[in-house]
Amino acid sequence: MCSALSDPVHPPFTFMGNQVEKLTHLNYAEVPTSDPNGFDPDDDGPRIGVSYIFSNDDGDDDQDENFDHFASVNHAANHEEKPFDPQDELECAIYYREECVYERDIGAATLSPESLLNKCRPGDLLEFVATGQYPHWAVYVGDFQVVHLHRAEIKNNFLTDVSQGKKGRIVNSLYRYRALPPESIVRNALDHVGSRDRELYWRNSECFAAWCRFGKREFKIGGEIRIGKQPYRLKLLFSEKKSHVLEFQSLEDVIMEKRRNDQIGKDAVTQELSNHLNTTNEIKEERFVD
């Protein structure tokens, strides 16, 4: 799916006839469309900038209300969760300028926690998924344990406890950066166990786990200066012929939007984007009438 983004004659990514949109959190249509860095946008069209104020992904997994201290009462609640539906997962890719740095195809197999343990090796990145919830990432450090960021604290727990019965998968190959040696990945994770609140440099479990494996500052809060043109693009692929591209100023911003899409699901993202584009077309038509 990763392919060149630049084609001035034939823009490659369209959805319902629209070209690349400078949009991020599309469900915040009522939010003033000023640039999050305080600069006025050069273009005239509506533009919704990234702002952490409106993010539900703050500090990770505050979103996951069923994850509180692994209490048994919450385990009982998990039986009411909807099983993970891979068909509601949105295929996507992340580009930095013209380089594809992340790619996810739909249909990746998920395993029970017990089966996952049989395949894990120290340094592996794990993702636990459930319909309607943000994905939870962790680093496998050996001895049936993982290190993960949860509720503004980095913790070391048994994999089966962290999974809460959710299915999971090894996701080492989603990001296309060169991985550190396994012992360095494990050391990165373990060195930060116990860090919490203001000591944290990562906004969610995915950013922390990915930083442990790749060591790139782009995964950290404020790891990139948000100035000028938006170099990151998130390509959402709805079908072979329908796709859409969103632009961002940092990898952290892209990850937050991608995780939001994972939480609401493909159908909701499709409807949300369709509603937004229809509203935009109506605004343009009103301007022509005037």
Q: pLDDT tens string for the chain (290 positions)?
A: 676 564 433 344 334 333 344 443 443 333 333 333 333 334 333 333 333 333 344 444 544 434 444 443 344 444 456 778 888 899 999 999 999 999 998 878 899 999 999 999 999 999 999 999 999 999 999 999 999 999 999 999 999 999 999 999 999 999 999 999 999 999 999 999 999 999 999 999 999 999 999 999 999 999 998 777 899 999 999 988 899 999 999 999 999 999 999 999 999 999 998 898 887 665 555 544 54
Q: What single-letter DSSP state applies at residue 41?
A: P
Dist. CA 270–CA 282, nearest whole Å: 18
Q: Residue 226: what pLDDT?
A: 78
Rounded Cα–Cα distance for residues 264 and 130 (Å): 11
What pLDDT does residue 147 have? 98
* Integer-rounded Cα radius of gyration of the chain: 19
Does 37 map to a domain? no
pLDDT of residue 87: 84
Closest CA to 155 of 141, 166, 169: 141
Identify the domain containing residue 146 by its residue range: 86-283
DSSP state letters, 202-254 = -SSHHHHHHHHHH--GGGSTT-S---SS--EEEEEESSSS-EEEEEESSHHHH
Task: Enumerate residues 6+ apart whose C-beta is below 8 A from 139.
Answer: 123, 124, 125, 126, 146, 147, 148, 185, 186, 188, 189, 209, 212, 213
- The answer to whether residue 16 is domain-embedded is no
Q: Is residue 61 one of the residues assigned to a domain?
A: no
pLDDT of residue 45: 36
Are residues 15 and 238 in contact, defined by beta-carbon separation less than 8 angstroms?
yes
Sheet order of strands, 153-158 included: 153-158, 145-150, 136-142, 125-129, 167-170
β-bridge mates for residue 129, sequence order? 167
Instruction: Let me know if residue 222 belongs to a domain.
Output: yes
For 61, 116, 160, the CA distances from 111, given in Å and listed in that order, are 21, 6, 12
In a domain, 169, yes or no: yes
Structural domain contains residue 12: no
Side-chain half-sphere exposure of 275, counting CA atoms within 13 A: 10
* Residue 27: inside a domain: no
Domain harbouring 104, CATH code: 3.90.1720.10
Domain count, the chain: 1
Q: Is residue 39 part of a domain?
A: no
